[in-house]
Chain A
Amino acid sequence: MSSPSPDQGEVTTLLRAWSGGDTEAFDRVLPLVYDELHRMAARCLAGERSTISLQATGLVNELCLRLLGWSPGTWKNRGHFFGVSAQMMRRVLVDIARRRRAERRGGDRAIRVPLEGIDIAAREPGADLLDVDRALDLLAVEDPRKAQVVELRFFGGLSIDETAQALGVSERTVYADWAFARAWLYRALSGADAD
């Protein structure tokens, strides 16, 4: 077993402190999160490629539940839970991507988001996850709800339906937001890629 994991209460406290802005708290809990991610990632890939997306959704929620716990009083509602999970996942992945880039161990360490789709061999060019994150921030300035939809769907792995529930809007709205946001981001990123 790897280093003794902080007990449940400590993790929750740290994560809460982190959402409150305490970056040092994140440093302490990140190894645990990273651990979980690794395990989940390996499990994710042990299965066939087609089930990756399905598994990933469950995994995000599983991770958050595991780390934060689902108890009455912790969450205002399911939507709130999903929202925080997605946000957390985003910040974790972005943080990891940033650290990997800083490590400079040789080879391409950036996390690349494929522009065409995931089933092509991993080495094809894509947008850097950090660029996606940045672009999303720009979108949020223009239209917070669309950015949220992307955050929930891409980082949280939620379906259209679940996103609608989380945001308290209709599925049609989510669908439209998603289509627009994707196009907008794609345009922003492929423009950057061409540089």
Chain B
Amino acid sequence: MPTERWNRLDRLFTEAVEQPADMRAAFLAAACGSDARMRDELASLLAAAEASGDFLSASALAVFARQISTEGWSVKPGDRIGAYTVEKRLGAGGTGEVWRARDHRLGRDVAIKLLLPHPSTSATERVQAFQREARAAGALNHTNVLTVYDIGEHDGAPYLVTECLDGESLRARLASGPVPIDMALDVAVQVARGLAAAHVNGIVHRDLKPENIFLASDGRAKILDFGLATLMDAPGPEASLHAPFGELSRTLFAGTAGYMAPEQIRGEASDGRADIFALGVMLHEMLAGARPFTADSTLATLDAVLTRKPADLSNVSPAIPPAVAAVVRRCLTKSPDDRFQTITDVVSELSAIVQSRSRPPRPGLLAILRRPSVMVPIASILLTVLLGVWRWRAETSRARWARTVAAPEVQRLTNHGDYAEAFLLARKALGALPDDPHLQQIWRDVSIPGTVTTDPPGADVEVSAYLTETTWVPFGRTPLDGVGLPRGLIRMRISKAGFQPVEASVSPPGQRFNLDPIAAAPPGMVRVRGGRDQVRFGSVGDIDDFWIDRFEVTNREYKSFVDRSGYTQRAYWREPFLDSGRSLSWEQGIERFRDATGRPGPATWRNGTYPDGQADFPVGGVSWYEAAAYAAFAGKSLPTFYHWYRAAGFGRFSDILNVSNFDERGPAAVGRYRGLGPFGTSDMAGNVKEWCWNAVPDRRRFLLGGGWNDAKYAFAEYDARGPLERAPTYGLRLAKYSHPVSDAVAAPVPIDEPRRDVLKTRPVSDELFDVYRRQRAYDRTPLHANVESTEETAIGTRVIVEFDAAYGGERMRAYLFLPRTGTPPYQTVVFFPAGDAFVVRSSRDMSLSGLDFIVASGRALLYPIYKGTYERMAAEPSGANGERDLQIAWSRDLGRAIDYLETRADIDRTRLAFYGVSVGADIGASLVALEQRFKTTILQAAGIGGEGPPELDSVNYAPRVRIPTLMLNGRYDFTLPVETAQRPLFSLLGTREKKHRLFEAGHKLPNDEVAAEMVPWLDRYLGPVVR
């Protein structure tokens, strides 16, 4: 409780503050009178009020926030940035902090450079600078440049994700003194190579120093921190305005002035030769243990760079070859015109020196050894050399395994079609050697980004190979976004405490699972996600989630129905008995349902029970009526045609057929065959055929899934039989719905609506076809082609080229792979990819598996980036018109790509082939019908689709394909059945030189089999390759 005195003080203060400043003293005197203490107190308070300015104006939180974020505490270990989990802070530099983080999708460590607020720069500047860095570094793909994986923004702070390296910076290494000569030269050559790659792309580093060179433990030197990099021909006034000022002030702030070239210090235009200067400084420092230009203060150092001569290396140590000293001297000349003009010259010079040094014997060194005065230092030099060599060249055995054993095996498995096995092995290898570009390419070939989510989230996911179950490998915890999934089927196990575990087959693009608490799930049943799919006989709208039996109904289960007098309880038998249209009374009907000894029961039973030892076998020899009655008994329902197909899940992969009971002599215990469905069912393929609710219009009922005595393709075929029939392969499984199904779903399925008979459809007239052709024509404007890069890769010499597209002022890119065998001009195969190209965001991540054999056969491969694929990704077409525009674009893209080929002397323009897969094969017919420059075409996984607008319909194009055509298809392709989709297309093809080759596979064909078929075809129609 404030005292009286206090209150008075308070009151007077308030009044005093309201007085004009010059009146205050008078006021105080009058108010306080003789109370001097009060007057002094007030005076000091007023003075404080005067001085206090913005004291306490910002809230405590703001103060706190500001302070801790400038300290760099905006993330903590365990935080999630994008798809990465941050683990440990590796360091802080001029532009931001670097953290080590984990990329759970690929199971590797990455480095995240987080840009933090710094009081001296504004937000937009920082973001722009950062984006510059990312663009600069991201455009480079070289073993001596830090690989940039990703760029993003986290809570407003931009970040850069790069490879995480094991090793130390050159600065750290230099802290322990000069570096052995061979190592110094090795590092210099590597750095120079990295710079060469940058310069070739028009990127100058501008901030090269030992802090920015990393010595990885696998022996590679990597250039980091393109923070000040500028693109040499980048337009924009802001680049020139801000950059020089930023450079200098940043350097002054960072205190590492000795590496800036004179022209940079003077603020003049600088180019790649500034990097050469910095490299010279570093090489000098590595050899001498000290920089060529040193002084006490930063400014003095800058002065030394501008005016003083560097110390001569030959004077520093006699071991340094004069040639090296000369190179360094030539890098450090003040005028850029006197230096090496290109970094590649530096590479050549240094490489030549390294070469000459590796030739034994080295008389120079021996001569030095004989001089006793240098004995001791030499010993320590040797020791350093030995240690350095050990640290430099050490390779772990895991890394060796990854490269020499795992990688080829992954290749082999992929070519064979064992995608899940290849995937698991590649994952393991990449975990052992995450930086290896070859493995990274392999990873891209075996995986494709997908999503696995659960509701609720936080479930543990394990995976195992599909065809032969391998050990279960931990995969992560949901939600998993952008996770690598194999390009095939894989088994997945989802578990979360308190919930029913799920085991299902998964393929890209992944799946969402709804988890059910253990108590809520009906025993023995699995949840099937509802939705709307394209079922073959039209759609019936959305169906809700429902339950379906995991296994077929077993003998044992059926017996409980029989034992509980199921065959005498009329209430279960709700469907009127009909025999070929004739009604039967209940008593008459039920008489039909007797076992082999005349007792009520399935046809396959004797004496009212099932054969010995077959308790867990699926019940067989039951009629549709019995199946319906059993369903009533069990309180469930026969699945409808649509529900059954939904649960069976026909995707692109037919692996299930290889682990199901087909082509056998009898049924197997349920679940013995490991054919797992996408929702956790077993034996939907094969074992017994399963009765479904729906009738065919003539009152037969559907039997789906095929039985043990059928061939594999029966899985996708439907069967329908009279409801009284009772073959041994007729069985059932049950479903459970949350509410009764709609009439549309329960109604007879209209299967006798004919699929359009394409053979009877007349293609459009030639006049009309000419209109279609003209729609796709384009003017042959100049290409303005520009080669972006040329690099040796595992698949041949990869040339990435960019040229003007034929429309929209766009540019398009194409990848050209040139063979290393054979002599130019090369035969060329032009490729059009499958659906994965439409979901992968960058052509850098393109999969090349299944294409390398083309280049290996001595031919060139052209892979254009068509509109809508990779970086040219666009939204899905809005409808038929959008679809047409896209196809027209493709036609033009293809034309342009060939136009480019024609400009190259190393390509034989008279020997071109078109190769399309899936999507590429579907429009392949139309593309090839219009493009006259191909000699032959290979269409893989193509077929006739449904009817569409005539200008897009294969029916009009296929007859106009007049070049030799090879069609490759899988016999068990669920999406393009042999009879209804593949064969019609084949017969429509206008050429007489055509071949339709069927493989024992689904939509996706094994690479080695395709190669074995395709190479002889190319030899025949393009001609053998000239060696």
Q: Are A157 and B59 in contact (CB under 8 A)?
A: yes
A182-B64 in contact given A118-B58, A154-B59 (Cβ < 8 Å): no
Query: In the complex, which residues of chain A have a beta carbon less than 8 angstroms from the beta carbon of B48?
Result: 183-184, 186-187, 190
Q: Does B754 reach chain A (CB closer than 8 Å)?
A: no
Q: Are A155 and B51 in contact (CB under 8 A)?
A: no
Q: Nearest A residue to B2 by beta-carbon distance?
A: A143
**How far in angstroms is the closest Cβ of chain B from A4?**
9
Q: Contact partner of A52 among B54, B58, B78, B85, CB < 8 A?
A: B58
For the complex, give the distance between the alpha carbons of A39 and B119 in Å: 19
Q: Are A48 and B123 in contact (CB under 8 A)?
A: yes
Q: Does B307 reach chain A (CB closer than 8 Å)?
A: no
Q: Are A56 and B67 in contact (CB under 8 A)?
A: no
Q: Does B790 reach chain A (CB closer than 8 Å)?
A: no
For the complex, give the distance between the alpha carbons of A35 and B155 in Å: 13
B-contact bits for A104-118, CB 8 A (1 contact / 0 none): 000000011111111
**How far in angstroms is the closest Cβ of chain A from B71?**
8
Query: In the complex, which residues of chain A have a beta carbon less than 8 angstroms from the beta carbon of B327?
Result: none
**How far in angstroms is the closest Cβ of chain A from B477?**
10
Q: Nearest B residue to A175 by beta-carbon distance?
A: B14
Q: Does A2 reach chain B (CB closer than 8 Å)?
A: yes
A-contact bits for B1-18, CB 8 A (1 contact / 0 none): 111001000100110010
Q: Contact partner of A112 among B3, B52, B67, B157, CB < 8 A?
A: B67
Q: Does A45 reach chain B (CB closer than 8 Å)?
A: yes
A116-B49 in contact given A2-B76, A46-B156, A56-B65 (Cβ < 8 Å): no
Q: Does B878 reach chain A (CB closer than 8 Å)?
A: no
Q: Contact partner of B155 among A39, A113, A114, A184, CB < 8 A?
A: A39
Q: Are B156 and A56 in contact (CB under 8 A)?
A: no
Q: Does B80 reach chain A (CB closer than 8 Å)?
A: yes
**How far in angstroms is the closest Cβ of chain A from B884?**
45
Q: Which of B1-53 contact A (CB under 8 A)?
A: 1-3, 6, 10, 13-14, 17, 44-49, 51-53
Q: Are B156 and A43 in contact (CB under 8 A)?
A: yes
Q: Nearest B residue to A97 by beta-carbon distance?
A: B64
Q: Are A154 and B56 in contact (CB under 8 A)?
A: yes
Q: Are B63 and A143 in contact (CB under 8 A)?
A: no
Q: Does B61 reach chain A (CB closer than 8 Å)?
A: yes
Query: In the complex, which residues of chain B have a beta carbon less than 8 angstroms from the beta carbon of A166?
Result: none
**How far in angstroms is the closest Cβ of chain B from A29?**
17
Q: Are B61 and A56 in contact (CB under 8 A)?
A: yes
Q: Does A25 reach chain B (CB closer than 8 Å)?
A: no
Q: Does B73 reach chain A (CB closer than 8 Å)?
A: yes
Q: Which of B893-917 contact A (CB under 8 A)?
A: none
Q: Are B53 and A90 in contact (CB under 8 A)?
A: no
**How far in angstroms is the closest Cβ of chain B from A62?**
11
Q: Are A60 and B64 in contact (CB under 8 A)?
A: no
Query: In the complex, which residues of chain B have a beta carbon less than 8 angstroms from the beta carbon of A59?
Result: 61
Kindly state the interface size class of chain A when it binds its partner. Answer: 35 or more
A-contact bits for B617-643, CB 8 A (1 contact / 0 none): 000000000000000000000000000
Query: In the complex, which residues of chain B have a beta carbon less than 8 angstroms from the beta carbon of A185?
Result: 55-56
Q: Are A42 and B45 in contact (CB under 8 A)?
A: no
**How far in angstroms is the closest Cβ of chain B from A39?**
7
Q: Are B62 and A44 in contact (CB under 8 A)?
A: yes
Q: Does B70 reach chain A (CB closer than 8 Å)?
A: yes
A129-B13 in contact given A42-B74, A42-B155 (Cβ < 8 Å): no
Q: Are B64 and A90 in contact (CB under 8 A)?
A: no
Query: In the complex, which residues of chain B have a beta carbon less than 8 angstroms from the beta carbon of A111?
Result: 63-64, 67
B-contact bits for A20-41, CB 8 A (1 contact / 0 none): 0000000000000001011111
A180-B65 in contact given A155-B59, A186-B52 (Cβ < 8 Å): no
Q: Are B66 and A46 in contact (CB under 8 A)?
A: no
Q: Contact partner of B74 among A38, A114, A122, A144, CB < 8 A?
A: A38
Query: In the complex, which residues of chain A have a beta carbon less than 8 angstroms from the beta carbon of B53?
Result: 115-117
For the complex, give the distance between the alpha carbons of A119 and B179 in Å: 47
Query: In the complex, which residues of chain A have a beta carbon less than 8 angstroms from the beta carbon of B14?
Result: 176, 179-180
Query: In the complex, which residues of chain A have a beta carbon less than 8 angstroms from the beta carbon of B73?
Result: 38, 41
Query: In the complex, which residues of chain B have a beta carbon less than 8 angstroms from the beta carbon of A118?
Result: 54, 57-58, 62-63, 66
Q: Which of B77-104 contact A (CB under 8 A)?
A: 78-80, 85
A154-B60 in contact given A38-B74, A41-B74, A42-B156 (Cβ < 8 Å): yes
Q: Are B54 and A116 in contact (CB under 8 A)?
A: yes
Q: Does B297 reach chain A (CB closer than 8 Å)?
A: no
Q: Does A150 reach chain B (CB closer than 8 Å)?
A: yes
Q: Are A129 and B63 in contact (CB under 8 A)?
A: yes
Q: Are B119 and A121 in contact (CB under 8 A)?
A: yes
Query: In the complex, which residues of chain B have a beta carbon less than 8 angstroms from the beta carbon of A115?
Result: 52-53, 55
Q: Does B858 reach chain A (CB closer than 8 Å)?
A: no
Query: In the complex, which residues of chain B have a beta carbon less than 8 angstroms from the beta carbon of A43?
Result: 155-156
Q: Does A53 reach chain B (CB closer than 8 Å)?
A: yes
Q: Contact partner of B59 among A56, A114, A186, CB < 8 A?
A: A56
For the complex, give the distance between the alpha carbons of A45 and B56 in Å: 18
Q: Does A7 reach chain B (CB closer than 8 Å)?
A: no
**How far in angstroms is the closest Cβ of chain B from A122?**
5
A179-B63 in contact given A46-B157, A116-B55 (Cβ < 8 Å): no
Q: Does A142 reach chain B (CB closer than 8 Å)?
A: yes
Q: Does B68 reach chain A (CB closer than 8 Å)?
A: yes
Q: Does A98 reach chain B (CB closer than 8 Å)?
A: no
Q: Nearest A residue to B458 by beta-carbon distance?
A: A4
Q: Does B69 reach chain A (CB closer than 8 Å)?
A: yes
Q: Which of A137-151 contact B (CB under 8 A)?
A: 142-144, 150
26 contacts between A and B (CB under 8 A): A37-B65, A41-B69, A41-B74, A42-B155, A44-B61, A44-B65, A53-B57, A53-B59, A59-B61, A93-B64, A111-B63, A113-B55, A114-B54, A114-B55, A114-B63, A118-B62, A122-B66, A122-B70, A129-B60, A129-B64, A179-B14, A180-B13, A182-B49, A182-B52, A183-B48, A187-B45
**Top 10 A-B pairs, shortest CB-CB distance:** A46-B156, A117-B54, A41-B65, A157-B59, A183-B49, A187-B48, A2-B78, A42-B74, A56-B62, A118-B58
